[in-house]
Structure 1
Amino acid sequence: MSTIHHPAEADVRRDAAVPTMRTWIGLAVMCFPVLLVAMDFSVLYLAIPTITDQLAPTAAQQLWIVDIYGFLIAGLLITMGNIGDRFGRRRVLLSGAMLFGAASAVAAFAPSAAVLIGARAVMGVGGATLLPSSLSLISSMFPDARRRSLAIGIWTACFAGGSAVGPVIGGVILHHFWWGSIFLLNVPVLVALLVLAPKLVPEYRSGTSEPFDILGVVLSLAGILPVVYAVKHIASDGLDTTGVVVGVVGVAALVAFLRQQRRARHPLLQIELFRLPRFSAAVTSALTCMMTLGALSYLTGIYLQSVLGRDVLAAALAGLPMAVAVAVFSLGASTVDAVLGTRAAFVLALLAAAVGNAGLLLVGTGTPLWMYLVPTTVAGVGYGIVFSLVSEVAVGSAPPERAGAASGISETSFELGSALGLALLGSLATAVFRADDGGRGFADTLGQTLDRARAIGDGSLASDARAAFVDGLHIAVGVSTVLLVVLAAVIAVVLRRRDPRGV
């Protein structure tokens, strides 16, 4: 992302060398959209059982409702950052906020699963403008390196904390209102952004005239979405011609995307950055951690309500310790880094996340709540530290002239990881659930199966379905544990040689 500014804007930057109270308030305003985008990744986790009852989505639709949002953000993030550079970051931010708000209102009153999926898709397009625009504006508002680092740290903590508290806030709202109210929560916050940002946040443009990599955008989406659809289809319907053909088309598009990126004069993805071991390690950490956290949050939201029988408020409160752990340790990661060194902090944090996931292998259909609270809180500690360290290592490992591109890829890895967690690990859990049917008459989802069991008065069907869901949960968190442990071992090797503290 270019950092060349018009002369008039350079004067603004010099005047802003010492941030005023107005600048810090502007930072708080820039954190509004970050919180919303992060929360909307996870706010549906506790709402899924209710949405299943009201809209009766299929298993594939249920997963699409949650993760179409994340895939469109991931696919468009870098592109929207480039648009902001050319046409004005504040202008793009406010335009995206209006789109996000309008789509939220449609989602709140969606009459069917298909309409809700479409509204979430439009929210993803709007959300893709909010993250890069807000981060780029913050970088421009704080030209001093030390204060800029603090501001970006606050921004990162808001993203990590928003993702963690989303299920909690969603659960509290659902306890009092209907499921669509979780989307209406976005509207007043976005109205405040639209009113305050023009007064507190200056406009910035890079003045770049580099062409858009439109072909790269098309090929990336043409690859990601069919591959994900194929995974979901195979998980819900088994291996068939449709799943295989769509999957092959998606893989072919991804191969074409990578080849096109190597030849493009102004590529969407700076592939050469992945030749830097530390950069690749940081991006892989973001991708893996968000993938495992997304799957964990989604599956445990269903587990608490449909397996343990907790109401939505109790399920929300049960998620609070992990949310607090993520938020607190994302803010305190710099202290952990200073004491242990980047390499040791990274490795221990990944292992903590792994231990937390592994602890969920002990839960069953009748286990006490503390057996859920302890491992998820431990996982939250690890995730919080990793999220804050990723940006520092990713951007710090890249050459200065490519720091913007490194930051964009790092952000994209967070969003893509969250969506992949639901697509891959969520689909894996669904496949295990369906495989455990054994002719007992399971529906596509646990919620639908429990409805069927209540309708026919079959208590054994409900018990078998809950046990089958727990089996799927165990497989998903088991795979997550293995991924995190392997990643910790890789990080220990990759960061060993170049940690300036020699840790």
Structure 2
Amino acid sequence: MLVIARVLQGVFAAMLVPAGLAVIRQTFPEARLGVAFGIYGMVSSLALIGGPLVGGLIVQAASWHWVFFINVPVAAASILIGIFTIPRATETTNPPWDIPGALTFTLGLVGIIWGIQGVQTSGWSAPTLIPTIAGAVLIVLFLVIESRVKHPMVPLDFFRNRTFSIGVGLLVAAMAAFYAVAFYLLLFLQNVIELDAAQTGLITLCMTGASVVASLAAGAISDKFGVRVTLFIGSAALATAMFLLTTISGTSTAGSVAPALVLVGIGVGFITPAATQAILGATPPERAGVASGIQQSGQQLGSTMGIAVFGSILATIIGAQFLTQLPGAVTEDPAVAQIAESDTVSQNVSTGFGPAAQQHLESALGETLPANQVTPAATSITEAAHTVFISGLHTVFLVAGGLAVLCALLALLVNYRPPRNAEPAAADTSPHEPLDGSGPASPTADVTGGTPASPKRGPESA
């Protein structure tokens, strides 16, 4: 029952967030979208900070059940506020669901992510290659379906707009890099330099706190100078952070990692609202619902693919280097070598080989070695594990840094800048950048992604 409820929670959240972004796009004047999306980014960052903190306090004070109960009055209040404050749409349509598109896209992504994540345990072999290739084929089929159906789930004509396409790409890349840090650097902090949970939470506040402040600043900068400047600054900050993280070592401290985490927070805080503004600002308000869905899909895709792809890079490096890092005293003893080469040790190395893994290793070695040889052997294996894990992280952050540099270059190609003085977006009838560059957008485009009211009009803007 709990699993089913969590699935439903995810489904409804997937409906709620894009709708919220669409409301922002339709309610605020185009000249103030930067500030609006900046506030949205700030609130999102605060939720990242406050959610786990409040949840932990609730579990300590009551029980885990209250983590869910506490959301009931919050949801009820949100419904009432929405009823009385969110403007009603004057014209709506109900196009049919794109079931073939939804199925091929979902199954395709599942196959690709399943295959890439499997590399961490099985390497590039049949169990990982087959789902990856099958997923890629399904994604190609999805693109074919979307190009032919009358009411596509993802209108491909949106991507003819350069600003829209770059905005989606930067959002995916930023989320991938962010979660590479959020996931794998936390393993380094807890398992290699052995910070406790409280210390780790405190140091990560540098990242989330910087993101809160940066989100507000990004909105003001975007409205004054355009999203190109904001996206470039965010990408540059993210690239600098990644290259700084390539210098971490087993002697690093929380203080030495903090500046890079602050830069990561600034980078994500600048990129996320600016990319959102680029995506929705390059789309006519009537189609903001579809554009918001693509924005959220890109954000979720980036986080999922970031963990999977960077995890496979890390696992590949560990698999190639770990055994070569073991000293001769370990590899020459068959019993010790068998323990060091076991799947359990390999999996523990991929997560940083923390204190729990070290204790498990000492227990296993104690069954085959004299007591006076257990600690030296365990120390040698642990040092080798930390060495290859850090080496893998260096590669992960180097690749992420290169990706951020590419984002900075792409940001220079963005050509969206909000007008200095604009009427509210809901009443905006000014032409948007056309999808194919042939002329102004149709003002009758359907917010749900359906076809325009008149087939004789020019292409719609995205």
**TM-score bracket for the superposition, by shorter chain length:** 0.7 to 0.9
Residue 471 of structure 1 aligns to which amino acid in structure 2?
S
| Alignment equivalent of 2:360, drawn from 437, 445, 452 | 452
CA distance in 2, matches of 1:461, 1:282: 45
Aligned equivalents of 1:189, 1:484: Cα separation in 2 = 39
Whichever residue aligns with residue 73 of structure 2, its letter is A
**Cα offsets for 1:32-71 (capped at 9, x unmatched):** xxxxxxxxxxxxxxxxxxxxxxxxxxxxxxxxxxxxxxxx
User: Secondary structure of the equivalent of 1:201?
Assistant: helix
- Aligned partners of 2:33 and 2:81: how far apart in 1? 17
Query: CA 1:498/1:132 → structure 2, altered by over 3 Å: closer, same or farther?
Result: closer
Residue 408 of structure 2: aligned partner:
488
Distance across 1 between alignment mates of 2:24 and 2:171:
21
Aligned letter for 2:264?
A
Counterpart contact for 1:450–1:465, Cα < 8 Å: no
Indicate whether 1:190 and 2:71 are aligned.
yes
Paired with 1:259 and 1:132, the residues of 2 have a C-alpha distance of 25
Question: Contact 1:289–1:484 at 8 Å: present in 2 too?
Answer: yes
Contact 2:39 2:219 (C-alpha < 8 Å) held by counterparts: no
Kindly state the Cα deviation for residue 137 of structure 1 after the two structures are TM-superposed.
5.7
Q: Return closer, same or farther for 1:319/1:214 CA change in 2, 3 Å cut-off.
A: same
Q: Which amino acid aligns with 1:268?
A: M
Q: Distance in 2 between matches of 1:363 and 1:143?
A: 44
Change (3 A) 1:316 1:411: same
Q: Which moved more, 1:374-383 or 1:204-213?
A: 204-213
- Give the direction of change, closer, same or farther, for the CA distance of 1:244–1:450 in structure 2 (3 Å limit): same
Partner of 1:417: 302
The number of aligned residues is: 381
In the TM superposition, what is the alpha-carbon distance from 1:378 to its structure 2 partner? 1.4
Letter in 1 for 2:165: S
Matched to 1:169, the amino acid is L
CA shift, 1:195, in A, is 2.8
Q: Is the 8 Å Cα contact of residues 160 and 326 (structure 1) preserved in structure 2?
A: yes
Alignment of 1:154 with 2:39, yes or no, is: yes
Residue 412 (structure 1) shift:
1.6
* Deviation by residue 1:262-307 (Cα, 9 ceiling, x = unmatched): 0111100011111111111111110000010011100111111111
Instruction: Give, in angstroms, the shift of residue 464 of structure 1.
Output: 1.8
Q: CA deviation at 1:144?
A: 6.8
Q: Percent identity?
A: 23
Q: Which residue of 2 aligns with 1:285?
A: 170
3-state SS, counterpart of residue 347 of structure 2 = coil
Paired residues of 2:35 and 2:219 also in contact (CA < 8 A)? no
Equivalent in the alignment of 2:80: 199
Once the two structures are superposed, what CA deviation does each residue of 1:295-338 show, in whole Å capped at 9, x if it has no partner? 11001111111111111111000111111100111011123335
Equivalent of 2:53, from 169, 181, 185?
169
Q: Could you say if the C-alpha distance between residues 427 and 119 of structure 1 is closer, same or farther in structure 2, counting changes exceeding 3 Å?
A: farther
Please list every run of 5 or more consecutive structure 1 residues that lacks an aligned counterpart in the other structure.
1-101, 107-117
- Quick one: distance in 2 between partners of 1:143 and 1:248? 43
Aligned pair partner of 1:333 in 206, 214, 218: 218
Provide the rounded CA distance (Å) in 2 between the counterparts of 1:353 and 1:342. 16
Deviations 1:455-495 (A, max 9, x none): 23512222222222212211111100000101211221x12
Which amino acid in 1 is paired with 2:305? L
> Given that residues 167 and 316 in structure 1 are in contact (C-alpha distance below 8 angstroms), is that contact kept between their aligned partners in structure 2?
no
Q: Which of these residues, 283, 300, 303, is aligned with residue 188 of structure 2?
A: 303
Q: Which amino acid aligns with 1:314?
A: Q
Aligned to 1:471: 391
In structure 2, how many angstroms separate the alpha carbons of the residues matched to 1:479 and 1:152? 29
Counting only pairs closer than 5 Å after superposition, residues 172-321 of structure 1 correspond to structure 2 as: 173=56, 186-202=67-83, 207-321=92-206
TM-score, length of structure 1 as denominator length: 0.68
Q: Classify 1:292/1:144 alpha carbon distance in 2 versus 1 (closer, same or farther; 3 Å).
A: closer
- The range that moved more, 410-419 or 451-460, is 451-460
Deviates more, 1:126-135 or 1:421-430: 126-135
How many angstroms does 1:339 deviate by? Answer: 5.3
Which moves more between the two structures, 289-298 or 425-434? 425-434
Change (3 A) 1:301 1:185: farther
Identify unmatched segments of 5+ residues in structure 2: 324-336, 366-373, 420-462
Q: Secondary structure at the match of 2:195?
A: coil
For residue 270 of structure 2, what is the aligned residue in structure 1?
385
SS of structure 2 residue aligned to 1:436: helix
Structure with the larger helix share: 1
Q: Which moved more, 1:144-153 or 1:347-356?
A: 144-153
Q: Which amino acid aligns with 2:11?
A: V
RCO (CA 8 Å, sep 6+): is it higher in 1 or 2?
A: 2
How far apart, in 1, do the equivalents of 2:251 and 2:114 lie?
34
Between the aligned partners of 2:12 and 2:319, the Cα distance in structure 1 is 35
TM-score by length of 2: 0.74
Which has the greater radius of gyration?
Answer: 2
Query: Of residues 124, 134, 141 in structure 1, which corresponds to 2:10?
Result: 124
Q: 1:129 deviation in Å? A: 2.8
| 1:175, distance to aligned residue in structure 2 (A) | 13
Q: Distance in 1 between matches of 2:127 and 2:315?
A: 18
CA shift for structure 1 position 239? 1.9
CA distance in 1: counterparts of 2:114 and 2:25, whole angstroms: 37
1:362 match: secondary structure: coil
Cα pair 2:234 2:270 within 8 Å, conserved: yes
| Post-superposition CA distance 1:83-106 (Å, at most 9, x none) | xxxxxxxxxxxxxxxxxxx74xx5
**Do the aligned partners of residues 184 and 147 (structure 1) sit closer, same or farther apart at CA in structure 2, a change above 3 Å counting?**
farther
Other structure's SS at 2:108 match: helix
Whichever residue aligns with residue 173 of structure 1, its letter is G
